[in-house]
Amino acid sequence: MQTLLSSDLLNTLTSKDKETFLSSLSELIGQIDEAQKEFSALKSLFEGVLEMLPQAVWVLEEDGGFFYFNSKAYQISKILEGNLPLTDSEEIEFEGNFYLLQGSVIGGKQIVTAIDITHQKRQERLATMGQISAHLAHEIRNPVGSISLLASSLLKRVDIKSKGLVYEIKKAIWRVENIIKTTLMFSKGVIAQRNEYHMLEIKEQTQEILNYISCSKPYDLEFEAPDQAVVWCDLNLLVIVLQNFLSNAIDAIEEGECDEGKIRIYFSQDEECYFFSIYDNGKPIQDSQALFEPFKTTKLKGTGLGLTLSRQIIKAHEGEINFIPEPKTFILKISKCK
């Protein structure tokens, strides 16, 4: 092995030269050590920044081997299969999500990033579905209104034996009208016009829905609330919410395994909020994560907009909706702030 300094050269150095040489060498080693520490710190900072990015990041060698990737990239590394080389941008669907892949070549290495655009795509899809639904609702509303008037007129003319059939027609029309109203409110947005109302009025209007929906099983409904309690709310909007939950409870009882249904609506309040707790013993919620997702429903009836609209209404009252799986209970919380 060849050395930097031969022994003969070292022998020619004086003690002072050797001392100077060793001092310079020690200083050089110290500088190299400091440079390595700075490099390590910069490397850690660089990797930390890449970990904080919302994108998955890969740096690839010319032969396709990995030079670097962050943790987000590691989790979806299979997304690159069949999509390399990449020198532009493209949208890819991968494992149920949508990603925007972008690539460029810098210094002989290919840099590829992927960002999850599932939420953006979902919002675009919902906007399109909302526009279509609102258009259909407008087109359907007038003929349904005419049918409703004809059914009311028919009810006055038919004999007693046929009245039951007309009542069923009116119930079906009411469901269609309710779907139209829900769809139009969802597409337009909700603004609460609040005032003070007694609980008796809220209870009576909420329970009117029982005249329009049927259930093949017997069920017991308890609405526990003092009639004289005063609630500051938008009466029409709050009734829509309570009717939605009551309708859902009846549907769940009909689809569930219970022989006899139980529904409890319990009202309470504190200094800051009103609370409505709604319980039923019907079919359990299958996917609580998708409860408030528009146009998504596991029920045999409905459009999947009822809970979404209900949450919009409660938010317009500066409140929130919480779900407790056991026992199956929804809690509506409404702020008293004026």
199 shares its domain with 325:
yes
256 shares its domain with 324:
yes
Overall number of domains in the chain? 4
What HEC string does the chain produce? Answer: CCCCCCHHHHHHCCHHHHHHHHHHHHHHHHHHHHHHHHHHHHHHHHHHHHHHCCCEEEEECCCCCEEEECHHHHHCHHHHCCCCCCCCEEEEEECCEEEEEEEEEECCEEEEEEEECHHHHHHHHHHHHHHHHHHHHHHHHHHHHHHHHHHHHHHHHCCHHHHHHHHHHHHHHHHHHHHHHHHHHHHHCCCCCCEEEEHHHHHHHHHHHHHCCCCCCCEEEEEECCCCCEEEECHHHHHHHHHHHHHHHHHHHHHCCCCCEEEEEEEEECCCEEEEEEEECCCCCCCHHHCCCCCCCCCCCCCCCHHHHHHHHHHHCCCEEEEECCCCEEEEEEECCC
pLDDT at residue 5 greater than cutoff 60: no
CATH code for the domain of 207? 3.30.565.10
Instruction: Give the confidence band of 196 by pLDDT, cuts at 50, 70, 90.
Output: very high
Question: Residue 135: its pLDDT value, please?
Answer: 64
pLDDT at residue 258 greater than cutoff 50: yes
132 shares its domain with 107:
no
307 shares its domain with 262:
yes
247 shares its domain with 324:
yes
> How far is it, in rounded angstroms, from Cα 212 to Cα 19?
103
281 shares its domain with 164:
no
59 shares its domain with 175:
no
Question: Which range (130-139, 148-157, 259-268) has the least confidence?
Answer: 130-139
Q: Tell me the mean pLDDT in the region 29-51.
A: 77
b/e burial code for range 155-170 (CB count within 10 A of at least 16 → b): eeeeeeeeeeebeebb
Question: Residue 4: its pLDDT value, please?
Answer: 54
pLDDT at residue 224 greater than cutoff 90: yes
Q: Tell me the mean pLDDT in the region 296-309.
A: 67
pLDDT at residue 296 greater than cutoff 70: no
Q: Where is the domain boundary, 167, 188, 209? A: 188
142 shares its domain with 108:
no
Q: Give whichever of 69-78, 270-279, 307-316 has the largest mean pLDDT.
A: 270-279
- Higher per-residue pLDDT: 231 or 338: 231
Percent of the chain exceeding pLDDT 70 equals 85
Q: Where is the domain boundary, 100, 116, 132? A: 116
Q: Tell me the mean pLDDT in the region 89-115.
A: 83
206 shares its domain with 316:
yes
| Average pLDDT taken over every residue of the chain | 81
Question: How buried is residue 22: exposed, middle or buried, by Cβ count under 10 Å (0-12/13-18/19+)?
Answer: exposed
pLDDT tens-digit map of 49-64: 777 778 888 888 877 7
Q: Where is the domain boundary, 116, 138, 157? A: 116
266 shares its domain with 324:
yes
Question: Residue 1: its pLDDT value, please?
Answer: 41
CATH code for the domain of 159? 1.10.287
For residue 120, give every residue at least 6 positions away whose Cβ sits within 8 Å of its Cβ, in sequence order, or none. Answer: 98
List the beta bridge partners of residue 109.
106
CB 47 within 8 A of CB 40: no
Report the C-alpha dihedral over residues 71, 73, 75, 79, rounded to 10 degrees.
Answer: 180
Question: Residue 264: its pLDDT value, please?
Answer: 95
pLDDT at residue 38 greater than cutoff 70: yes
322 shares its domain with 204:
yes
99 shares its domain with 150:
no
pLDDT tens-digit map of 320-336: 999 998 899 999 999 98
pLDDT at residue 3 greater than cutoff 60: no
Question: Residue 198: its pLDDT value, please?
Answer: 94
Q: Which two tokens stand for residue 170?
A: 């009116």
CB 167 within 8 A of CB 290: no
* Residue numbers of the domain that contains 301: 195-335
List the beta bridge partners of residue 321.
332
CATH code for the domain of 86? 3.30.450.20
